A and B are shown apart, each in its own frame.
Chain A
Amino acid sequence: MKKLGKVISALMASVLVASALVGCTDAASTETSDSQAQTQPAQETESSSDNGATFKIGAIGPLTGGAAAYGNAVCNAAELAVEDINAAGGINGYQVEYSKEDDELNAEKSVNAYNTLKDWGMQILVGSTTSACSIAVSEYTKADNMFQLTPSGSAVDCVKYDNVFRVCFSDPNQGIASAQYISDHNLATKVGIIYDSSDVYSTGIYQKFVDESAGKNYEIVSQEAFTADNATDFSVQLQKAKDAGADLVFLPIYYQAASLILTQANTMGYAPTFFGVDGMDGILTVENFDTKLAEGVMLLTPFAADATDDLTVNFVKKYEEKYGETPNQFAADAYDAVFIIKQAIEAKNATPDMSISDLGDALKGAMTEIEASGLTSSKMTWDASGEPNKEPKAVVIKDGAYVSAE
């Protein structure tokens, strides 16, 4: 058990260190966007006085500290979306005011941030960015019946209340999305799976994948597990997939183990398509890793910054101009979130003078009726559970970079 704890703490520490590095480079852009955020509402208050009222949308995320890269992506993109909406005439003619608060990746601070935003007059919440914070805040939005849309909270419990919806897939639903993607794109006839049986994230995706695979145009020929204590030798798991003739190996695991799997598959001369989920994101950052080994690896992700459709091209261009960096999937989810809220408000002809609770009821109803389109999918619908239903997207690694698989 001691060793399992070690591996988990290693994983967590690696996430912390990795995001801390990103966080450092982000500091400058955070300051500029902060000052913009401060000047922005002032201007909007003037313009809004023309037609009387404004919608007030707030966003919460870790803007400083270890996960600042995620929080800044969400808050920047939400800000960009609000600006775009205001420039195009607002929602139902009402302008939108926007404010954001830092939660430092801490659930209690996320609740404080929520209260600060409520004092400011927030009616609708985009956030929180991360799962644990989002769950903590949902206890309070539930009590206030405020409409909450988390762009990126992927834990199952994030949407346990009826007033909370999400844009991204939940962790286990990535298994369903992967199965659909593999089937829709005819990627394989025989599929092998290697998963981490000591990890909730991995087993959750694995089970959903297996359930969803029933009746698809491929068959699962091998299902092999490993544990955190046993994550060095994958020869057996790979050999079994190879002997069973798997032409695609599904890896619902983190990239650390995946890098060893890719190396060992190469040594034994086995070259199926490897298909990962968001845990695979990071494989190209492993120091001294021969990225040639990752050539052709596919991974499920809602957003590829190099996609060539007009919406993505415009978004990436504007985001890069304003914040000086390429937007990631968190940014895309948040940008979509604000436009989804706009569409939901329009569907119910809601107005800013409605109470928070009335607005919450209206938007809850609207969410199950609308069909949204955005950066992360051209067609998104929701059921009352809060889970999105949308077409999965994937990227493939080519020449050491992510390229849209479409």
Chain B
Amino acid sequence: MSFLTYLINGLSLGSIYAIIALGYTMVYGIAKMLNFAHGDFIMVGCYIIFSVSAALGGNSVVGIILAVILCTLLGITTEFVAYRPLRGAASPLAVLITAIGVSYFLENVALLIFGADIKSFTSVIKWEGLSFAGGQLRIQGVTVVTIAVSVVILIALQLFINKTKQGQAMLAVAEDKGAATLMGINVNKTIMLTFAIGSSLAAVAGALLCSAYPSLSPYTGAMPGIKAFVAAVLGGIGSIPGAMIGGLVLGIVEILSKTYISSQLSDAIVFGILVVVLLVKPTGILGKVIQEKV
């Protein structure tokens, strides 16, 4: 019974990683850049929901909608101002470092506006959750919602990418930017759309992250962002179902190693597994090897 409880806790943590990883992997898969500021977009989303809910006396629906809109705008602006000018740069490192810069920029702006004091976030999910075996086994409402939302997003993204024109354009850009341009695809517009979707997912992930772990500070998104990146790499970066699986695996491994091995070593074990997986299968669990044609 207690094993099941721990497994559910792992699922709960993993579902949060998964939903963040979806945004990470989406942007990487198409734009081929690591948006290290993704975790901080999540933090921005959380603060928007927090502030709007406080102003409206606890109504979080408006807050979530506003957060999705503003995070989308933030993503588009960031891409336009900070990433696009560097896309042609000689070294792919330039844009990576810029992403880290954007991450620190957003954290420090949040520090200026909201201060370093933590704020307690009121869960946007009011539902108590499921209870089995006479209350012995409980699955929190936010866990069920997070998993459901991740699956919906997963399916929606798969359909969008494979069935729509813009989605096909994204695949083309992902494969070869130059060739896509020659085919008449507007690369800049396609990448902007990718960022818009990725950032709106960050707002949704933020709402669920802070509902599950209701402590909000300018660094709220930083560590979950890194862990979700690991989850995305574990699942196969660029693969959308891989992000989902990577997130769940990471969460469950983290909780079970805390439980049965050592609460001090859980991070070491999680990252150790990452190293092993990458040694055995460098593309991650679901990653595909793309042959470079010469």
Contacts and interface: CB of A to CB of B under 8 A. Distances in A.
A121 to B, nearest CB: 42
Interface stretch (A54-62, A67-75, A90-98, A237-245): A237-245
Interface stretch (B73-81, B116-124, B195-203): B116-124
Nearest to B215: A260
Contact of B224 (A11, A14, A232, A237): A232
Given A10-B219, A240-B259, A233 B267 contact: no
Contact of A239 (B5, B120, B223, B264): B5
Contact of A286 (B118, B213, B266): B118
A233 B214 contact: no
Interface of A: 3, 6-7, 10-11, 13-14, 16-18, 197, 224-227, 229-230, 232-233, 235-237, 239-240, 243, 256, 259-260, 263, 267-269, 285-290
Interface string B248-266: 0000001100110001101
Contacts of B267: 227, 229-230
B185 to A, nearest CB: 37
B150 interface: no
Contacts of A197: 264
Contacts of B213: 232-233, 260
15 contacts: A11-B116, A13-B111, A224-B263, A226-B263, A230-B266, A235-B9, A235-B13, A236-B9, A236-B263, A237-B263, A239-B259, A256-B118, A259-B215, A260-B213, A268-B138
B222 A235 contact: no
A10 B218 contact: yes
Given A6-B219, A233-B213, A288 B6 contact: no
A292 to B, nearest CB: 12
Contacts of B217: 10, 256
Given A259-B118, A268-B138, A286-B117, A7 B219 contact: yes
A6 B263 contact: no
B13 A233 contact: yes
B115 interface: yes
A18 B117 contact: yes
Query: Which of A3, A10, A256, A289 counts the most B-chain CB atoms under 10 A from its CB?
Result: A10
Contact of A288 (B115, B120, B226, B255): B120
Contacts of A6: 107, 219, 222
Query: Which of A226, A267, A269, A289 counts the most B-chain CB atoms under 10 A from its CB?
Result: A267
Contacts of B9: 233, 235-236, 239
A174 to B, nearest CB: 21
A14 B118 contact: yes
Given A233-B254, A236-B259, A267-B140, 13 more contacts: A3-B226, A10-B219, A14-B116, A224-B263, A235-B255, A236-B9, A239-B5, A239-B9, A263-B214, A268-B138, A286-B118, A286-B120, A287-B119
Contacts of B219: 3, 6-7, 10
Contacts of B135: 269
B264 A227 contact: yes
Contact of B215 (A235, A256, A269): A256
Interface in B1-34: 2, 5-6, 9, 12-13
